[in-house]
Amino acid sequence: DQQVKQNSPSLSVQEGRISILNCDYTNSMFDYFLWYKKYPAEGPTFLISISSIKDKNEDGRFTVFLNKSAKHLSLHIVPSQPGDSAVYFCAAFDGGYQKVTFGTGTKLQVIP
Amino acid sequence: EAQVTQNPRYLITVTGKKLTVTCSQNMNHEYMSWYRQDPGLGLRQIYYSMNVEVTDKGDVPEGYKVSRKEKRNFPLILESPSPNQTSLYFCASSLSPGGNYNEQFFGPGTRLTVL
């Protein structure tokens, strides 16, 4: 049973426009959420995170929004740049079991 | 340089031949974890460790073993590899399992093929 889902396997966006990547989860015990970016032939790298007690966290061009009632989080990238082309994973942390669950990933392509 | 290293980066082996993938971090992190990445399935946690001599199963532990005898090392052991363990493996570490220190640092990955 996939507790963290990224329903869009891929996304294409024009350079300069907004990229919105979505993530849904089912476990209400998740208390911390993270986004990672992964380039080919490299390990994932941390991008941005949000605690379950917040609904928004911003870091430069990246903003993560959390809607706990809908069990949904999204990552906004504004403006999108070609270097943002990568696979993005959302991840959720269950503090009770000390476990991290990752989504299936969304491949973002930013077209120059 | 703060980093997580894995060895080997690429490995082709045959069914049943025991192998070990090493993982080492130089950041004095308490939490370490192993993941496998498969097409359409994302990253799935195999095992994790919250500290020396403390390990626990992730979501897909069958066919794998781990040990944490030292804080910096967390090897992944496949006692009898099978073709369904062909995958891309990542080791990761973080300062703490939760809260603001949950950010994990990943190794470069090990591409394993079991024939």
Taking only the tens place, the pLDDT of each residue in A19-72 is 999 999 999 999 899 999 999 989 999 999 999 999 999 999 999 999 999 999
Give CA separation, A101 vs A1, A50, B16, B44, B47, in Å: 11, 15, 29, 7, 12
Tell me which chain B residue has its CA closest to the CA of residue A52.
Answer: B99
- Residue range A68-85: mean pLDDT, rounded: 97
Selecting from A49, A100, A104 the residue whose C-beta is nearest the C-beta of B33 gives: A100
Contact A89 B108 (CB under 8 A): no
Contact by Cβ (8 Å): B114, B17: no
The CB density around residue A68, as the number of other CB atoms within 10 Å, is: 14
Only one residue has tokens 């363990």, namely: B85
Tell the residue number behind the tokens 């941390």, with chain if given: A46
Chain B: closest CA distance from residue A82 (Å) = 22
B34: nearest CA partner in chain A: A100
Does the pLDDT value for residue A99 go beyond 90? no
A102 and B44: CB-CB below 8 Å?
Answer: yes
What pLDDT is recorded for position B102?
72
Q: Nearest by CB to A46, from B42, B44, B104: name it.
A: B104
B53 touches chain A (CB under 8 A): no
The amino acid occupying position A44 is P
Mean pLDDT of A69-88: 97
Instruction: Collapse the DSSP code of B22 into the 3-class scheme (helix H, G, I; strand E, B; otherwise coil) and give the result.
Output: strand
For A98, the closest of B50, B92, B106 (CB atoms) is: B50
| Residue A84 Cα, gap to closest chain B Cα (Å) | 19
Point out the least confidently predicted range of A28-42, A75-89, B75-89, B97-111: B97-111
Contact A84, A19 (CB under 8 A): yes
Which residues in chain A have their CB less than 8 angstroms from residue B61's CB?
Answer: none
For chain A, first and last CA: distance in Å? Answer: 38
Q: What is the dihedral of CA B91, B96, B101, B103, to 10 degrees?
A: 10
